[in-house]
Amino acid sequence: MVFYRGVSLLSKLRSRAVQQTSLSNSVRWLQVQTSSGLDLRSELQELIPEQQDRLKKLKSEHGKVQLGNITIDMVLGGMRGMTGLLWETSLLDPDEGIRFRGLSIPECQKVLPTAKPGGEPLPEGLLWLLLTGKVPSKEQVDSLSQELRSRATVPDHVYKTIDALPVTAHPMTQFTTGVMALQVQSEFQKAYEKGIHKSKLWEPTYEDSMSLIAQVPLVAAYVYRRMYKNGNTIPKDESLDYGANFAHMLGFSSSDMHELMRLYVTIHSDHEGGNVSAHTGHLVASALSDPYLSFAAALNGLAGPLHGLANQEVLLWIKSVVEECGENISKEQLNDYVWKTLKSGKVVPGFGHGVLRKTDPRYTCQREFALKHLPEDPLFQLVAKLYEVVPPILTELGKVKNPWPNVDAHSGVLLNYYGLTEARYYTVLFGVSRALGICSQLIWDRALGLPLERPKSVTMEWLENHCKKA
């Protein structure tokens, strides 16, 4: 029943979509503007001076305002809950979930351009939104799609670098290696070596970021075809949009799979700045490392089991349930299996989140996709049962602040249904998606002149002495 109340709430959110009045003007101010130009770079050139002035005013007038107190629990707990980063492209609310430039996922599904009526948002539209704060027109999105296609060329040395690795290397290892090999073409590095004024650093950053976003699907598809399809690669299709073309190069021609990839890339693109991959990209870039180096570092964080690698663990665990109990498992059997997993010292993958305290909206929109396209799929029905079984058990344990499912709980089942069954590869899909958010923020990092990140660290002895004095 909890789930259906959540779905009802989601429907209410859809109905008021853009009419949301609870959002602050500081988030919404960009979205009320309109533009007629088709060139994304020109849009940024207009917006950047305004935002630079806004940041200067904020710093000069309110720089000494305190945001909160830092506790020892926060220091020892991985800085969890500390407010310490500027991240313009998205904001994560513990109860509402992610908002991209102020827009919730249901709102994005309502207002962003789609490939077909009633379809999923085009990732290019979200990229435009992340960079400008404006909802683009279909013409602007089509223009951006064309720009990305024009940049989607990968030098041969990148493929040769990947081929130097064993074909058995983890897909994320191969993917990150490919991104590092792309770095030799960095326009930012060339401009910095020649000498460039700091006010112009965003321009070569934009060039690198757009090229990187355009190229990562080709690199990712090459890794997939190399590992699982005997190296038989598929060239890009100049007629397809970003998400559909990625699915095409992987080897999937179904229009529904194209829709799924559009949805997947969109909802995985950004999740504010404190998660490991986003923070790592920001941290490395703060040293004026170019977008390729910064994004490669972010991918290495994403590859960790406590971050992006979790999405492969979910499908593997679900398949282990089916292998032991069959597809038509009852809720009682599922309850026993969940307890068995927990008592063995393992976690139930796909449940819980470091910030969210409610069901992840990214889970909910994937459930809606499944109800529309694959309602009878046994694995989807198993995921639905897990939603009813797992939260009460985790609540009973009393150790989990958020017993609800996150984005990883659903994505693998959808991909598996359409034939992308290789769970080890799933984090690469996450990585391609995350390029949109990390690179968008990186452009603004450069435009706003954000400084080198250098927090203060202390020893346990320092903390103990501080507590004694306190």
pLDDT (average), residues 439-460: 96
In whole angstroms, give the CA distance from residue 172 to residue 303. 6
* Number of domains making up the chain: 1
In whole angstroms, give the CA distance from residue 257 to residue 364. 18
Q: Are 122 and 141 contacting, i.e. CB atoms less than 8 angstroms apart?
A: yes
**In sequence order, which residues have a C-beta less than 8 Å from that of residue 395 and are 6 or more positions away?**
403
What are residue 99's phi and psi, to 5 degrees? -125, 125
**In sequence order, which residues have a C-beta less than 8 Å from that of residue 312 and are 6 or more positions away?**
412, 423, 424, 425, 426, 427
For residue 324, give the H/E element and its range: helix 310-325
In whole angstroms, give the CA distance from residue 326 to residue 318. 11
Indicate if 142 belongs to the active site. Answer: no
The verdict on residue 459 lying in a domain is no
The verdict on residue 233 lying in a domain is no
The verdict on residue 20 lying in a domain is no
Indicate if 307 belongs to the active site. Answer: yes
- Can you give the pLDDT at residue 13? 38
For residue 406, give the H/E element and its range: none
Sign of CA dihedral 161, 165, 170, 173: negative
The range of the structural domain enclosing residue 361 comes to: 309-418
Q: Of these residues, 258, 268, 271, 307, which one is catalytic?
A: 307
Q: Are 420 and 250 contacting, i.e. CB atoms less than 8 angstroms apart?
A: yes
The verdict on residue 97 lying in a domain is no
Question: Residue 359 is part of a domain; what is its CATH number?
Answer: 1.10.230.10
The verdict on residue 379 lying in a domain is yes
Q: Are 405 and 388 contacting, i.e. CB atoms less than 8 angstroms apart?
A: no
- Can you give the pLDDT at residue 326? 84
In whole angstroms, give the CA distance from residue 339 to residue 410. 20
Give the rounded distance of the alpha carbon of 221 from its chain centre.
18
Strand order in the sheet with 90-93: 90-93, 97-100, 103-104
What are residue 98's phi and psi, to 5 degrees? -80, 140
pLDDT (average), residues 195-222: 98
313-338: per-residue pLDDT in tens?
888 888 888 888 888 888 899 999 99
Q: Of these residues, 208, 290, 408, 445, which one is catalytic?
A: 408
The verdict on residue 331 lying in a domain is yes
337-374: per-residue pLDDT in tens?
999 988 888 888 888 776 767 888 999 999 999 999 99
Indicate if 170 belongs to the active site. Answer: no
Better pLDDT: 272 or 20:
272
Q: Of these residues, 248, 271, 353, 410, which one is catalytic?
A: 353
The pTM of the full predicted model, rounded to 2 decimals, is 0.89
**pLDDT of 231 over the 50 cut:** yes
The verdict on residue 467 lying in a domain is no
The verdict on residue 269 lying in a domain is no
**pLDDT of 2 over the 50 cut:** no
Token pair, residue 196, equals 């460039």
- Can you give the pLDDT at residue 356? 67
